[in-house]
């Protein structure tokens, strides 16, 4: 979490529903500077607005639809539509809360679960009531053992207080990059490995125990909890009409105060970096969306609003809410080669694009960044990255191909210099992006 409470600006006054400068999800942290326990949470928000015995499916789903809430886990799919689809299933539903956050450059979900766990749990139980679910499963990476213990204790405390009529169970899953994909969670909860499954059927049709299953990111459910309390109009009072509300972003790289910030959707990328104190040194490019994201040249990217539509027009997407400012003296090709090498090692190894295609692309980029590439390398890279998307059982190859393709475009001058003059001096510097040991997570297996 950042250490500058004045860095989050949403343009709203504090009104009891928003924290200083309009912070919503991080209201409690800005008010107290610490984690909200159950007593503080209830003092601020009261219990979840769900009278005993009442089934508010129609009202809550309608409010979420009118609010325009979209998923904050990467796909930005309309949350109200997911709720309605699951609620219309023929069997009792299941809710899965996705707190895996396998994106190495993201910390927003971890921070939210640490600082406002009861807001997330409120959203989970309200969503469960809305879709007629009989069970809620909270999935966390087993690498965060302390957080697993804290969330388990929080759920037990809520049980003693009689808050949740629908049981919530915490699960600690193996922490692979692809294990946060929704079908991986469903597969693991059904007794299998935490690897993606081919679809259809999608989880909302047939998920945990064969039941209609709602899989939502923890931030999405925290927003839902506030919509249930304050309504769609309140939610839409910040952001843009076509992209309402706030969102959490993780800012790192060449910014003065890296951390997790809450910003209104539609804020230009340059202004978002400004909330982290601005650039600490000249910036050449911005990585938008994380390891599955896109590299954009810094100057034109600064004016691009942070919305799914505007980012798509620029060749990017919001992804997991990650922005990394790449300093001028870093090598974007070396950064990308490290990411591709990591993604190749983190694949589920279930189909050809991941078993053969990703390692081949990673090897090409490694040669481009540090080796002596042959004259056919660029043509080969373009061909291989063009063949990867849409051919895997999941979207792991798609994201890796997008990152590689945007790197070749954004760092075109560097590509020319590396091809003709060999590795640049910047290729040997310390990485800007966070790179976990690519092999370590594999040691824990998939179950």
Rg, C-alpha atoms of the chain: 22
Domain membership flag for residue 291: no
Judged against a pLDDT cut of 80, whether residue 55 lies above it is answered with no
E-state strands within 222-371 = 239-240, 243-244, 246-253, 259-264, 283-288, 294-297, 322-327
**In a shared domain, residues 88 and 214:** yes
Domain membership flag for residue 343: yes
Domain membership flag for residue 28: yes
pLDDT in tens, 330-369: 999 999 999 999 999 998 788 877 888 899 999 999 999 9
The reported pLDDT for the residue numbered 74 is 83
Domain membership flag for residue 290: no
Mean pLDDT value across residues 305-321: 96
pLDDT in tens, 160-183: 999 988 999 999 999 999 999 999
Q: What is the pTM of this model?
A: 0.92
**What DSSP string runs through 394-412?**
SSHHHHHHHHHHHHHHHTH
The reported pLDDT for the residue numbered 21 is 54
Domain membership flag for residue 271: no
Q: Give 296's strand partners.
A: 286
The reported pLDDT for the residue numbered 165 is 86
Domain membership flag for residue 149: yes
Separation of alpha carbons 302 and 310, rounded Å? 12
pLDDT in tens, 189-205: 999 999 998 778 889 99
Separation of alpha carbons 354 and 351, rounded Å? 6
Q: What is the CATH number of the domain that holds 178?
A: 3.40.50.11540
Last residue of a domain, one of 212, 239, 266: 239
Residue 357 DSSP one-character state: I
Instruction: Give me the number of domains the chain comprises.
Output: 2
What range does the domain containing 153 cover?
Answer: 5-239
Indicate the pairing of strand 294-297 with strand 93-98: unpaired
Domain membership flag for residue 256: no
pLDDT in tens, 275-294: 999 999 999 999 999 999 99
Cβ–Cβ < 8 Å for 105, 433: yes
**In a shared domain, residues 230 and 344:** no
Cβ–Cβ < 8 Å for 143, 232: no
Q: Give 96's strand partners.
A: 137, 215
**In a shared domain, residues 62 and 180:** yes
Nearest to 279 by CA among 326, 344, 330, 340: 326
Mean pLDDT value across residues 36-40: 95
């Amino acid at each position: 979490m950042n250490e500058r409470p004045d860095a989050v600006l949403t343009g709203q006054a504090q009104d009891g529903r928003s924290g200083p400068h309009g912070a919503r999800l991080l209201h409690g942290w800005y008010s107290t500077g610490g984690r909200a326990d159950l007593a503080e949470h209830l003092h601020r928000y009261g219990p979840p607005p769900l009278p005993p015995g009442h089934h508010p499916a129609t009202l809550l789903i309608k409010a979420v639809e009118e609010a325009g809430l979209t998923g904050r886990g990467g796909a930005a799919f309309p949350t109200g539509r997911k709720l309605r689809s699951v609620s219309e299933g023929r069997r009792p539903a299941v809710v899965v809360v996705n707190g895996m956050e396998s994106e190495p450059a993201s910390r927003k979900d971890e921070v939210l679960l640490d600082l406002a766990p009861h807001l997330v749990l409120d959203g989970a139980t309200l969503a469960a009531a809305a879709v007629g679910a009989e069970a809620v499963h909270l999935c966390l990476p087993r690498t965060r053992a302390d957080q697993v213990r804290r969330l388990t204790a929080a759920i037990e405390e809520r049980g003693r207080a009689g808050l949740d009529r629908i049981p919530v169970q915490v699960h600690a899953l193996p922490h692979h990059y692809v294990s946060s994909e929704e079908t991986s969670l469903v597969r693991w909860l059904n007794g299998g490995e935490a690897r993606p499954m081919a679809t259809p059927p999608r989880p909302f049709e047939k998920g945990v125990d064969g039941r209609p299953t709602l899989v939502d990111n923890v931030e999405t459910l925290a927003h839902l909890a506030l919509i249930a309390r304050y309504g769609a109009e309140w939610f839409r009072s910040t952001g843009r009409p076509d992209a309402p509300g706030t969102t959490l972003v993780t800012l790192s790289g060449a910014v003065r105060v890296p951390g997790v910030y809450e910003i209104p959707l539609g804020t230009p990328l340059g202004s978002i970096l400004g909330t982290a104190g601005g650039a600490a040194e000249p910036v050449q490019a911005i990585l938008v969306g994380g390891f599955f994201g896109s590299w954009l040249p810094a100057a034109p990217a600064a004016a691009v609003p942070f919305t799914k539509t505007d980012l798509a027009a620029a060749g990017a997407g919001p992804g997991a809410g990650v922005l990394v400012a790449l300093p001028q003296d870093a090598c974007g090709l070396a950064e990308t080669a490290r990411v591709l090498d990591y993604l190749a090692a983190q694949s589920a190894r279930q189909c050809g694009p991941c078993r053969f295609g990703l390692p081949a692309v990673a090897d090409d980029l490694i040669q481009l960044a540090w080796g002596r590439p042959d004259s056919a390398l660029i043509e080969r890279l373009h061909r291989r990255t063009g063949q990867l998307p849409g051919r895997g059982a999941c979207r792991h190859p798609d994201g890796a191909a997008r990152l590689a393709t945007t790197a070749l475009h954004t760092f075109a001058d560097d590509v020319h210099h590396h091809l003709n003059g060999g590795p640049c001096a910047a290729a040997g510097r310390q990485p800007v992006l966070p790179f976990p040991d690519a092999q370590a997570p594999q040691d824990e297996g998939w179950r």
